């Protein structure tokens, strides 16, 4: 029997896929190639020739798709199903010891409610790894195929960079191995190896182009290219460090073993990761990595310590936007000596005057620094900083450079004392310092152009309304051209006004108008945060939105009632009430609503009476035939239950679907109640009837 030619071609394409994926993995992940580059290139050319002549055989997971896709006009947004949280920082040994003490106190205190634990924990096991200085990304796989790549963004919303991540050869387009999940989200750090960074800058210098300051900036800039062929030319790499959403498979009970499982599926794991015991083991590792930092092939700015047990991670939980069970131990800040030439006072969104040191340019922490914060007058007086002093400038990671201290021996005789201004440098209103506060403020309020500008910048910022394309420089330009004077004016802008501005063509103007239109339906929490009420950050704004579920109700609430909201104390309550008592603020809010702003009201949070499973912890394992595990999780959480990823003595019940594995065995050994799928559905039905 003769095999049809198209069937032969498909068979050959499948074979080439398998062979090229295998050699990609050996070369870019295992660093152990089997064949010379010329042989690999020969296989790739054969595949490309077939796909060119028979485009119907081209698939998303083809190894040929590493070269880049057609350029994009813009990035779309991606909402992370599980937020990508940030880490708390430690800068000293004492802070690392305090971190472990907090964990042990919480775990031992949670062991029983009525008495001290019989066998209190005295130390913990940690998974430790270098903290790469790159760009955090999220990769989503469905049935083993890469379908989406996204930046971290603000932790809840990132940018879709799928075309760019496909070009990174150490990121698998198709997973390998056994027991591959139906859905898998992997998180990692995209970075530029030091050798690639040097080569990139060398080429730029030869072509008389602008060079990158450091590998981190080069990696971030490369990942945000609209033309993915440019990203493909930059030789980026990725190490993965965690998982997010996962369905259709289980991970081992330890973080370190979970990483090994990811390696079995084809991901690169940092070879310098380890498992250590106790805070002492963490500190020893910190010193070990610090000693060989310069010899590593990638840039790092510290190390990360994570409690290795996933069960303990779940018990420890989260605080604000960071996990309790992990911390980043940063390397000491880099410092350099330079001359303080002058001091200027910048006026912020809330009128605070911040002294800024103007410096003789100095290269520190990977960038050239010309300005540094002096914080406030109390700090200036404490450090005895004067104009003309030789100062030590400190920079750690992305932290704003600061004047750390002076060099007394180098002080000139004509060094000038720094004095707080009596009037605002922008609007000439009186400057006052409120008792109990370290900062002095301009009393001009929203008649002060500086405060107006900063309020608009804040409103448009990523964590607020995230108006794409409306950066600080454009806000300054629009304000100086008198096209806007407050946030509501943004929505009256016309494309023809914008296109007449310097460096703003018709396309850019149209894009900004579209971005403004797209920003008209923010969540209520984002809208409250965007208003710029003093002391109301993201977390407090979210608490206010969930509690009141209406801006109108919030506007007419008194200080006493506001303090019933989580995160709101008397000072914050006073700021909120004061903000809504100002007629000018209410006029601007009314103008925003008239322009079409419609904040999205959060779903109503259930009362305790409607949450019969509150205080219980469930674990789901195996395959469910009636619904996906994520849907089952939503049902449980809607009833008030916490859904954990691992079984412990504190687990209320395990829901076991088909092919339940080690979690079922562990539950049975601990005497944890086990529900099959039928019992789970009955549980949902009973509580649905009750409600």
Last residue of some domain: 330, 346, 370? Answer: 330
DSSP E strands, 331-434: 334-347, 353-364, 367-373, 386-387, 390-395, 402-406, 416-417, 431-433
What's the domain range around 389?
334-421
| Cβ density class 214-239: b for 16+ within 10 Å, e for less | ebbbbbbebbebeebeebbbbbbbbb
Same domain membership, residue 397 and residue 309? no
Tens-place pLDDT, residues 513-523? 999 999 999 99
Whether 321 shows a pLDDT value over 80: the answer reads no
Q: Where is 323: in which H helix or E strand?
A: strand 322-323
In terms of phi and psi (left: phi > 0; alpha: psi -120 to 50; beta: otherwise), the region of 278 is left
CA distance 522 to 84: 20
The per-residue pLDDT for 113 is: 46
Of 88-97, 328-337, 528-537, 583-592, the poorest mean pLDDT is in: 328-337
| Position 653 in a domain | yes
Same domain membership, residue 458 and residue 500? yes
The per-residue pLDDT for 187 is: 96
- Find all residues with CB under 8 Å of 140, minimum gap 6, and list them: 146, 147, 148, 149, 150, 183, 184, 185, 245
The answer to whether the beta carbons of residues 675 and 664 sit under 8 Å apart is no
Whether 612 shows a pLDDT value over 70: the answer reads yes
Tens-place pLDDT, residues 184-193? 999 999 999 9
Same domain membership, residue 664 and residue 555? no
- Say which CATH number the domain at 629 has: 3.40.50.10190
Count of positions (residues) in the chain: 691
The full DSSP string for 604-658 is: PPPPGGG-TTTT-EEEEESB-SSS-HHHHHHHHHHTT-EEESS--TT-SEEEE-B
The full DSSP string for 421-482 is: -SB-TTT-PBEEE-TT-SSEEETTGGGSHHHHHHHHHHHHSTTTT--TT--HHHHHHHHHTT
| Position 99 in a domain | no
- Say which CATH number the domain at 241 has: 3.30.470.30
Strands 431-433 and 440-442, how do they pair? antiparallel
Q: Half-sphere exposure (CA, 13 Å, Cβ side) for 46? A: 15
How many Cβ atoms from other residues are within 10 Å of residue 201's Cβ? Answer: 17
How many domains would you assign to the chain? 5
The per-residue pLDDT for 5 is: 65
Angle at 124 between CA 119 and CA 128, to 5 degrees: 170
**Averaged over 323-352, what is the pLDDT?**
91
Structure tokens at 58: 């081209």
CA distance 123 to 278: 5
Of 268-272, 294-298, 401-405, 649-653, the poorest mean pLDDT is in: 649-653
How far from 424 is each of 271, 364, 456, CA to CA, in Å?
Answer: 55, 32, 19
| Position 92 in a domain | no
CA distance 285 to 308: 15
| Position 45 in a domain | yes
Same domain membership, residue 583 and residue 476? yes
- Mean pLDDT (the chain, rounded): 87
The full DSSP string for 277-305 is: EHHHHHHHHHHHHHHTGGGSSS-EEEEEE
The full DSSP string for 56-99 is: GG--TT-GGGGG-PSPPSSPPEEE-SS-----EEE-SHHHHHHH
Q: Where is 132: in which H helix or E strand?
A: strand 125-132
Same domain membership, residue 452 and residue 317? no
Last residue of some domain: 563, 594, 625? Answer: 594
The answer to whether the beta carbons of residues 140 and 230 sit under 8 Å apart is no
| Position 540 in a domain | yes
CA distance 496 to 512: 12
Same domain membership, residue 662 and residue 641? yes
The answer to whether the beta carbons of residues 312 and 325 sit under 8 Å apart is yes
Same domain membership, residue 224 and residue 131? yes
> Edge-to-edge, what's the strand order for the sheet holding 673-675?
642-644, 617-621, 653-656, 673-675
The per-residue pLDDT for 411 is: 95
**Start-to-end C-alpha separation, the chain:** 65
The per-residue pLDDT for 265 is: 95
Strands 642-644 and 318-319, how do they pair? unpaired
Q: What is the DSSP letter of 227?
A: S
Highest averaged pLDDT of the listed ranges 556-570, 588-602, 652-666: 588-602
The answer to whether the beta carbons of residues 387 and 368 sit under 8 Å apart is no
β-sheet bridge partners, residue 237: 191
Q: Collapse the DSSP code of 267 into the 3-class scheme (helix H, G, I; strand E, B; otherwise coil) and give the result.
A: coil
- Say which CATH number the domain at 45 has: 1.10.287.610
Tens-place pLDDT, residues 4-37? 567 888 888 888 988 888 887 776 666 577 777 6
- Counting beta carbons within 10 angstroms of the beta carbon of residue 561, is it exposed (0 to 12), middle (13 to 18) or buried (19 or more)? middle
How far from 332 is each of 231, 237, 290, 306, CA to CA, in Å?
Answer: 32, 26, 10, 20
The full DSSP string for 541-608 is: HHHHHHHH--HHHHHT--HHHHTTSTT--HHHHHHHHHHHH-HHHHHHHHHHHHTT--PBPPPPPPPG
Whether 256 shows a pLDDT value over 90: the answer reads yes
The answer to whether the beta carbons of residues 646 and 619 sit under 8 Å apart is yes
| Position 441 in a domain | no
How many Cβ atoms from other residues are within 10 Å of residue 111's Cβ? Answer: 16
**Averaged over 335-346, what is the pLDDT?**
94
| Position 430 in a domain | no
Percent of the chain with pLDDT over 70: 93
Last residue of some domain: 330, 361, 393? Answer: 330
pTM tops 0.95, yes or no: no
The per-residue pLDDT for 206 is: 83
> Which residues carry out catalysis?
131
CA 437, chain centre distance (Å): 31
| Cβ density class 574-595: b for 16+ within 10 Å, e for less | ebbbebbeeeebeebbebbeee
Q: How confident is the model at residue 111 (pLDDT cuts 50, 70, 90)?
A: very low
β-sheet bridge partners, residue 468: none
Tens-place pLDDT, residues 632-685? 887 887 787 878 777 888 888 999 988 777 788 888 888 888 998 888 888 887
Q: Half-sphere exposure (CA, 13 Å, Cβ side) for 215? A: 22
Same domain membership, residue 285 and residue 161? yes
- Find all residues with CB under 8 Å of 58, minimum gap 6, and list them: 51, 64
Same domain membership, residue 340 and residue 321? no
| Position 427 in a domain | no
CA distance 310 to 252: 9
Same domain membership, residue 613 and residue 586? no
CA distance 283 to 683: 48
Identify which of 212, 123, 125, 139 has the alpha carbon closest to the alpha carbon of residue 174.
Answer: 139
CA distance 192 to 522: 35
Same domain membership, residue 341 and residue 317? no
The answer to whether the beta carbons of residues 266 and 172 sit under 8 Å apart is yes
**Averaged over 401-416, what is the pLDDT?**
93
Q: Where is 520: in which H helix or E strand?
A: none
**Averaged over 132-155, what is the pLDDT?**
92
CA distance 546 to 548: 6
Same domain membership, residue 398 and residue 345? yes
């Amino acid at each position: 029997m003769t095999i049809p030619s198209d069937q032969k071609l498909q068979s050959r394409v499948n074979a080439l896929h398998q062979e090229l994926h295998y050699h990609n993995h050996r070369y870019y992940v295992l660093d152990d190639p089997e064949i010379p580059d010329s042989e690999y290139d020969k296989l790739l050319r054969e595949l490309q020739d077939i796909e060119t002549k028979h485009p119907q055989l081209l698939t998303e997971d083809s190894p040929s798709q590493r070269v880049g896709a057609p350029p994009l006009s813009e990035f779309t947004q991606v909402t992370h199903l599980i937020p990508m949280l940030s880490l708390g920082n430690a800068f000293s040994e004492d802070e690392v010891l305090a971190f472990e003490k907090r964990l042990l106190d919480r775990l031992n205190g949670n062991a029983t409610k009525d008495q001290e634990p019989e066998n209190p924990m005295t130390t913990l096991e940690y998974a430790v790894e270098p903290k790469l200085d790159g760009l955090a990304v999220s990769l989503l796989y469905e049935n083993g195929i890469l379908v989406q790549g996204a930046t971290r963004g603000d932790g809840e919303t990132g940018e879709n960079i799928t075309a760019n991540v496909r070009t990174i050869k150490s990121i698998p387009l198709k997973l390998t191995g056994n027991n591959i999940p139906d859905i898998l989200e992997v998180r990692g750090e995209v970075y530029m190896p030091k050798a690639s960074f040097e080569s990139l800058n060398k080429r730029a210098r030869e072509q008389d182009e602008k060079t990158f300051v450091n590998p981190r900036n080069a990696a971030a800039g490369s990942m945000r290219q609209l033309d993915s062929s440019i990203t493909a030319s930059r030789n980026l790499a990725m190490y993965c460090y965690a998982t997010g959403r996962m369905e259709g498979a289980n991970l081992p009970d330890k973080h370190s073993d979970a990483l090994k499982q990811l390696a079995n599926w084809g991901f690169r794991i940092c070879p310098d990761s380890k498992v250590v015991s106790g805070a002492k083991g963490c500190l020893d590792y910190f010193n070990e990595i610090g000693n060989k930092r310069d010899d590593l092939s990638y840039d790092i700015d510290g190390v990360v310590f994570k409690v290795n047990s996933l069960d303990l991670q779940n018990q420890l939980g989260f605080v604000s936007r960071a996990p309790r069970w992990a911390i980043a131990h940063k390397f000491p800040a880099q410092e350099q000596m330079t001359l303080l030439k002058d001091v200027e006072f910048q006026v912020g969104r809330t009128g605070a005057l911040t002294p800024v040191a103007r410096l003789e340019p100095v290269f520190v922490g990977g960038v050239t620094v010309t300005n540094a914060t002096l914080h406030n007058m109390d700090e200036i007086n404490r450090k005895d900083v004067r104009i003309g002093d030789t100062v030590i400038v400190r920079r750690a990671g992305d932290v704003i450079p600061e004047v750390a201290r002076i060099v007394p021996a180098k002080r000139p005789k004509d060094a000038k004392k720094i004095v707080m201004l009596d009037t605002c440098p922008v609007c000439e209103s009186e400057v006052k310092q409120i008792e109990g506060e370290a900062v002095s403020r301009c009393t001009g309020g929203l008649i002060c152009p500086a405060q107006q500008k900063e309020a608009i910048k804040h409103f448009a910022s990523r964590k607020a309304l995230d108006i794409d394309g409306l950066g600080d420089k454009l806000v300054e330009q629009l304000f100086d051209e008198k096209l806007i004077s407050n946030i509501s004016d943004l929505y009256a802008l016309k494309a023809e006004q914008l296109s007449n501005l310097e460096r703003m063509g018709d396309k850019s103007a149209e894009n900004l108008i579209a971005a403004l239109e797209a920003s008209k339906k923010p969540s209520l929490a984002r809208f409250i945060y965007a208003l710029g009420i003093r002391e109301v950050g993201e977390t407090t704004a979210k608490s206010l939105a969930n509690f009141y579920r209406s801006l109108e109700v919030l506007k007419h609430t008194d200080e006493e009632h506001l303090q019933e909201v989580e995160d709101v104390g008397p000072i914050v309550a006073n700021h909120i009430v004061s903000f809504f008592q100002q007629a000018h603020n209410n006029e601007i809010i009314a103008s925003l609503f008239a322009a079409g702003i419609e904040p999205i009201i959060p779903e109503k949070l259930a009362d305790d009476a409607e949450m019969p499973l509150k205080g219980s912890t469930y674990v789901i394992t195996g395959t469910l035939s009636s619904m996906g595990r994520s849907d089952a999780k939503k049902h449980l959480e809607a009833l008030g239950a916490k859904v954990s990823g691992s079984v412990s003595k504190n687990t209320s019940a395990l829901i076991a679907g088909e092919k339940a594995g080690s979690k079922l065995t562990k539950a049975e050994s601990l005497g944890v109640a086990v529900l099959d799928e039928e019992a789970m559905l009955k549980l949902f039905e009973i509580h649905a009837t009750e409600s």
